[in-house]
Structure 1
Protein backbone atom coordinates (compact mmCIF):
# COMPACT_ATOMS: atom_id res chain seq x y z
CA UNK A 1 0.00 0.00 0.00
CA UNK A 2 2.77 2.45 0.93
CA UNK A 3 4.68 1.57 -2.24
CA UNK A 4 1.62 2.15 -4.39
CA UNK A 5 1.01 5.57 -2.84
CA UNK A 6 4.70 6.46 -3.20
CA UNK A 7 4.71 5.39 -6.85
CA UNK A 8 1.54 7.34 -7.54
CA UNK A 9 2.89 10.54 -5.96
CA UNK A 10 6.37 10.39 -7.50
CA UNK A 11 4.85 9.68 -10.91
CA UNK A 12 2.35 12.52 -10.70
CA UNK A 13 5.09 14.88 -9.51
CA UNK A 14 6.32 15.11 -13.11
CA UNK A 15 2.95 16.18 -14.55
CA UNK A 16 3.10 19.91 -13.59
CA UNK A 17 6.61 20.20 -15.07
CA UNK A 18 5.54 18.51 -18.31
CA UNK A 19 2.56 20.85 -18.61
CA UNK A 20 4.68 23.93 -17.95
CA UNK A 21 7.40 22.91 -20.41
CA UNK A 22 4.90 22.13 -23.16
CA UNK A 23 3.02 25.39 -22.62
CA UNK A 24 6.00 27.74 -22.34
CA UNK A 25 8.70 25.82 -24.26
CA UNK A 26 11.05 27.29 -21.63
CA UNK A 27 13.60 24.76 -20.39
CA UNK A 28 16.39 27.16 -19.44
CA UNK A 29 16.15 26.40 -15.70
CA UNK A 30 16.11 22.63 -16.22
CA UNK A 31 19.40 20.81 -15.79
CA UNK A 32 20.22 18.59 -18.77
CA UNK A 33 22.57 16.45 -16.68
CA UNK A 34 19.95 15.90 -14.01
CA UNK A 35 17.32 14.83 -16.54
CA UNK A 36 19.75 12.53 -18.37
CA UNK A 37 20.56 10.80 -15.09
CA UNK A 38 16.93 10.80 -13.97
CA UNK A 39 15.58 9.28 -17.18
CA UNK A 40 18.33 6.64 -17.11
CA UNK A 41 17.64 5.80 -13.47
CA UNK A 42 13.89 5.61 -14.05
CA UNK A 43 14.48 3.30 -17.01
CA UNK A 44 16.61 1.03 -14.83
CA UNK A 45 13.93 0.96 -12.09
CA UNK A 46 11.41 0.10 -14.81
CA UNK A 47 13.62 -2.77 -16.04
CA UNK A 48 14.14 -3.96 -12.46
CA UNK A 49 10.39 -3.97 -11.78
CA UNK A 50 9.83 -6.00 -14.93
CA UNK A 51 12.66 -8.42 -14.10
CA UNK A 52 11.33 -9.19 -10.63
CA UNK A 53 7.70 -9.26 -11.75
CA UNK A 54 6.61 -6.28 -9.64
CA UNK A 55 3.91 -4.77 -11.82
CA UNK A 56 3.30 -1.77 -9.54
CA UNK A 57 6.99 -0.84 -9.71
CA UNK A 58 7.10 -1.48 -13.44
CA UNK A 59 3.95 0.48 -14.34
CA UNK A 60 4.79 3.45 -12.12
CA UNK A 61 8.20 3.70 -13.74
CA UNK A 62 6.87 3.29 -17.29
CA UNK A 63 4.61 6.29 -16.73
CA UNK A 64 7.33 8.28 -14.95
CA UNK A 65 9.82 7.41 -17.70
CA UNK A 66 7.45 8.72 -20.38
CA UNK A 67 6.81 11.97 -18.49
CA UNK A 68 10.51 12.56 -17.76
CA UNK A 69 11.40 11.71 -21.35
CA UNK A 70 9.00 14.40 -22.61
CA UNK A 71 10.85 16.95 -20.47
CA UNK A 72 14.26 15.69 -21.61
CA UNK A 73 13.26 15.85 -25.28
CA UNK A 74 11.88 19.36 -24.78
CA UNK A 75 15.14 20.37 -23.09
CA UNK A 76 17.09 19.17 -26.10
CA UNK A 77 14.63 20.65 -28.61
CA UNK A 78 14.11 24.09 -27.06
CA UNK A 79 17.74 24.82 -26.10
Structure 2
Protein backbone atom coordinates (compact mmCIF):
# COMPACT_ATOMS: atom_id res chain seq x y z
CA UNK A 1 0.00 0.00 0.00
CA UNK A 2 1.34 3.41 -1.00
CA UNK A 3 1.71 6.26 1.50
CA UNK A 4 -1.12 8.19 -0.16
CA UNK A 5 -3.45 5.20 0.20
CA UNK A 6 -2.52 4.78 3.87
CA UNK A 7 -3.15 8.47 4.59
CA UNK A 8 -6.44 8.42 2.68
CA UNK A 9 -7.60 5.26 4.43
CA UNK A 10 -6.74 6.63 7.88
CA UNK A 11 -8.45 9.94 7.09
CA UNK A 12 -11.56 8.06 6.00
CA UNK A 13 -11.58 5.88 9.11
CA UNK A 14 -11.18 8.81 11.49
CA UNK A 15 -13.74 11.08 9.82
CA UNK A 16 -16.22 8.24 9.42
CA UNK A 17 -15.85 7.15 13.03
CA UNK A 18 -16.10 10.69 14.43
CA UNK A 19 -19.88 10.53 14.77
CA UNK A 20 -19.95 7.20 16.59
CA UNK A 21 -19.24 8.50 20.14
CA UNK A 22 -21.95 11.15 19.77
CA UNK A 23 -24.45 8.59 18.49
CA UNK A 24 -23.69 6.25 21.39
CA UNK A 25 -24.03 9.06 23.93
CA UNK A 26 -27.32 10.29 22.44
CA UNK A 27 -28.66 6.73 22.24
CA UNK A 28 -27.89 5.99 25.89
CA UNK A 29 -28.77 9.33 27.48
CA UNK A 30 -31.57 10.32 25.08
CA UNK A 31 -30.37 13.90 25.57
CA UNK A 32 -29.61 15.96 22.47
CA UNK A 33 -30.58 19.48 23.52
CA UNK A 34 -27.04 20.79 23.07
CA UNK A 35 -26.55 19.17 19.66
CA UNK A 36 -27.33 21.27 16.59
CA UNK A 37 -29.57 19.53 14.04
CA UNK A 38 -28.50 22.11 11.46
CA UNK A 39 -24.84 21.12 11.76
CA UNK A 40 -25.72 17.47 11.19
CA UNK A 41 -27.99 18.37 8.26
CA UNK A 42 -25.19 20.35 6.60
CA UNK A 43 -22.74 17.53 7.34
CA UNK A 44 -25.10 14.98 5.76
CA UNK A 45 -25.32 17.13 2.63
CA UNK A 46 -21.52 17.39 2.49
CA UNK A 47 -20.76 13.70 2.89
CA UNK A 48 -23.59 12.82 0.50
CA UNK A 49 -21.95 15.02 -2.13
CA UNK A 50 -18.58 13.42 -1.37
CA UNK A 51 -20.20 10.03 -1.91
CA UNK A 52 -21.59 11.19 -5.24
CA UNK A 53 -18.17 12.58 -6.14
CA UNK A 54 -16.61 9.20 -5.35
CA UNK A 55 -19.21 7.47 -7.52
CA UNK A 56 -18.46 9.82 -10.41
CA UNK A 57 -14.72 9.13 -10.04
CA UNK A 58 -15.32 5.43 -9.37
CA UNK A 59 -13.17 5.82 -6.24
CA UNK A 60 -14.21 3.02 -3.90
CA UNK A 61 -12.55 4.34 -0.70
CA UNK A 62 -14.30 7.72 -1.10
CA UNK A 63 -17.61 5.98 -1.79
CA UNK A 64 -17.34 3.62 1.19
CA UNK A 65 -16.12 6.07 3.83
CA UNK A 66 -18.48 8.87 2.86
CA UNK A 67 -21.40 6.51 2.33
CA UNK A 68 -20.92 5.17 5.85
CA UNK A 69 -20.50 8.74 7.15
CA UNK A 70 -23.78 9.69 5.48
CA UNK A 71 -25.55 6.82 7.23
CA UNK A 72 -23.98 7.56 10.63
CA UNK A 73 -24.72 11.27 10.48
CA UNK A 74 -28.27 10.60 9.28
CA UNK A 75 -28.68 8.29 12.28
CA UNK A 76 -27.55 11.07 14.59
CA UNK A 77 -29.87 13.53 12.87
CA UNK A 78 -32.80 11.16 13.38
CA UNK A 79 -31.88 10.74 17.05
CA UNK A 80 -31.85 14.53 17.42
CA UNK A 81 -35.29 14.79 15.83
CA UNK A 82 -36.67 11.94 17.91
CA UNK A 83 -35.29 12.99 21.29
CA UNK A 84 -35.83 16.76 20.88
CA UNK A 85 -39.52 16.06 20.30
CA UNK A 86 -39.71 14.14 23.58
CA UNK A 87 -37.95 16.96 25.46
CA UNK A 88 -40.50 19.56 24.32
The TM-score normalised by the length of structure 2 is: 0.85
Instruction: Please name the residue that 1:45 is paired with.
Output: 50
Residue of structure 2 aligned with 1:18, choices 23, 32, 37 = 23
Quick check: 1:54 aligned with 2:77? no
Quick check: 1:74 aligned with 2:79? yes
Instruction: Please name the residue that 1:2 is paired with.
Output: 7
State how far apart, in whole Å, the 2-side matches of 1:25 and 1:48 are. Answer: 34
Q: Which runs of 4+ in 1 moved over 4 A?
A: none
Q: Deviation of residue 65 (structure 1)?
A: 0.9
Stretches of structure 1 that go unaligned for 5 or more consecutive residues are none
Could you give the per-residue CA deviations for residues 28-50 of structure 1, whole angstroms, max 9, x where no partner exists?
Answer: 11111111101111111111111
Alignment coverage as a number of residue pairs? 79
State how far apart, in whole Å, the 2-side matches of 1:51 and 1:75 are. Answer: 31
Stretches of structure 2 that go unaligned for 5 or more consecutive residues are 1-5
RMSD: 0.8
Could you give the per-residue CA deviations for residues 1-60 of structure 1, whole angstroms, max 9, x where no partner exists?
Answer: 211110011111111111111111111111111111011111111111111101000000
